Each structure stands twice: as structure tokens, then as C-alpha cells.
Chains A and B, each alone.
Chain A
Amino acid sequence: SQKIEQNSEALNIQEGKTATLTCNYTNYSPAYLQWYRQDPGRGPVFLLLIRENEKEKRKERLKVTFDTTLKQSLFHITASQPADSATYLCALSGSRSSASKIIFGSGTRLSIRP
């Protein structure tokens, strides 16, 4: 069955450093990969989308890579700040067998300490 794995352990990073989150998937051939941020008690908020034919995408301090051979995406936050502390969700879509649905990983909780 389709499976998406994200760092199960929480990630604790010193302010100013680069945070790197991993998303691995199996039994899936997504055409698109998205990253969302979720704060406690709130719904997820869309951050970035990358297509299967794109290797890298950037938006301000965020960078996403997508390696369809390794079946992996890396999500980087440079110059991290305490306000970046949240849970980050990886989401895949576009598989022929999955029609319209976007499926999510379980998320990685990121904490940035001052």
C-alpha cells in the first residue's frame, strides 16, 4: 500500500541554523509534492508545491527538493527562527491510481530554540 514517512522524532534546532525535514514515500508515483505547516489547534497551511519534473523550488527562506528516483523530498528552512516552530506535513498527489486525492504524511514537529 502507499506509504509516506516523515521524521517520526521531533526536530530541535538552534535559532539561525538550517532545519532539514525528510519525506520518503513508497508504492507511489506522485506527479506533485506539497508541504504544509500546521500549528496546534489550527488547520494546515500550504507552503510550497513542486512538480515531478522539478528538482528544486525556493520561496524566501524555504527550499524543497524532489528526487523521484530516491522517492524522497527534503524541506529546508534556512536562518530558522522560533516562529518557525510547528508541525510540517508532506503531501503527495497526482498518482494515476489515486485520482483526485492528496495524501499526507504524519508530519514532523520542529522546535527552534532561541
Chain B
Amino acid sequence: ETGVTQSPTHLIKTRGQQVTLRCSSQSGHNTVSWYQQALGQGPQFIFQYYREEENGRGNFPPRFSGLQFPNYSSELNVNALELDDSALYLCASSLDGGTVRRSYNSPLHFGNGTRLTVT
């Protein structure tokens, strides 16, 4: 069983630039969620994708966007980077049955994240 992998592991960008982070889901999982974790804080929900469609979004501006591909891998794109975007970005996959109720309780399987630094 292949776990969740994220790339790159570390990234340094300049304010105003754009960044793309990538995630490969655990095999057999059809749902991917992205979280932002600032130092000393818990993960903050950005959005979730199920079968290539956005299936819920947290309080993040539109410059945070995502994609899920037919193989269930995913990308997180952030435009017009700000200093406050510096954080650990976590991808988590899960297996959901497609009903809203099943989405609530599927345990999340996290990758080890991408550490983004914006200078």
C-alpha cells in the first residue's frame, strides 16, 4: 500500500509569485483534502476534492485553488503569494462513498507536507 506523497518537501518563493504543490493519494483513495498548518497551530482546512470536483472549502481566498486528476492525485495552486502564506501545506487522502455523510467520518491519511517559505 503506497502512502500519501507530497512534493516538493521544501520551497522558497518571493511575495507575489505563484506556487504549485503536488500530492499523490494513497492507493484506493478517491478524496483529497488540503490543509495549511502554521507553526504551533493545528491544520486549517483549505478545500476538499472528490472525483475531480471541489466538495467543500474553508475560509481561504480564491487565490488558493486546486485540481484533482482522474488518478486522484491533486494540486494546490496559490497565486500572488503573501508573507502570511508561509506554512506547512498538508495533503490528506481518504476513501469516501460519495454521500455527504460518508465524508464526515473517513479517517484522513496525511502526507508529510510541503514547507513553503515566502520572503
Report how many A-B pairs have Cβ atoms within 8 Å: 72
Compute how far the CA of A41 lies from the CA of B38 in the bound complex, rounded to whole angstroms. Answer: 12
How many A residues touch the partner, as a band?
A: 20 to 34
Query: A13-21, A64-72, A76-84, A103-111: which lies at the B interface?
Result: A103-111
Write the nearest CB–CB distance from A30 to chain B, whole angstroms. 8
Question: A-facing mask of B91-119, CB < 8 A → 1, else 0?
Answer: 01000000010011101111111000000
B103 touches A100 (CB 8 A): yes
Compute how far the CA of A46 lies from the CA of B93 in the bound complex, rounded to whole angstroms. Answer: 12
Interface SS, B side? mixed
Q: Which residue of B35, B50, B105, B110 is within 8 Å of A45 (Cβ)?
A: B110
A31 touches B43 (CB 8 A): no
Compute how far the CA of A50 lies from the CA of B108 in the bound complex, rounded to whole angstroms. Answer: 14
Query: A32 and B42 in contact (CB under 8 A), knowing A100-B55, A101-B58?
Result: no
Q: Which residue of B45, B50, B100, B112 is within 8 Å of A102 (Cβ)?
A: B45
Residues of B close to A101: CB separation below 8 A: 33, 45, 48, 56, 58
Compute how far the CA of A94 lies from the CA of B101 in the bound complex, rounded to whole angstroms. Answer: 7
Interchain residue pairs A-B with the least CB separation, the first 3: A43-B110, A104-B42, A94-B104
Q: Which residue numbers of A lie inside 8 Å of B, CB to CB?
A: 4, 6, 31-32, 34, 36, 41-46, 49, 51, 89, 91, 93-94, 98-107
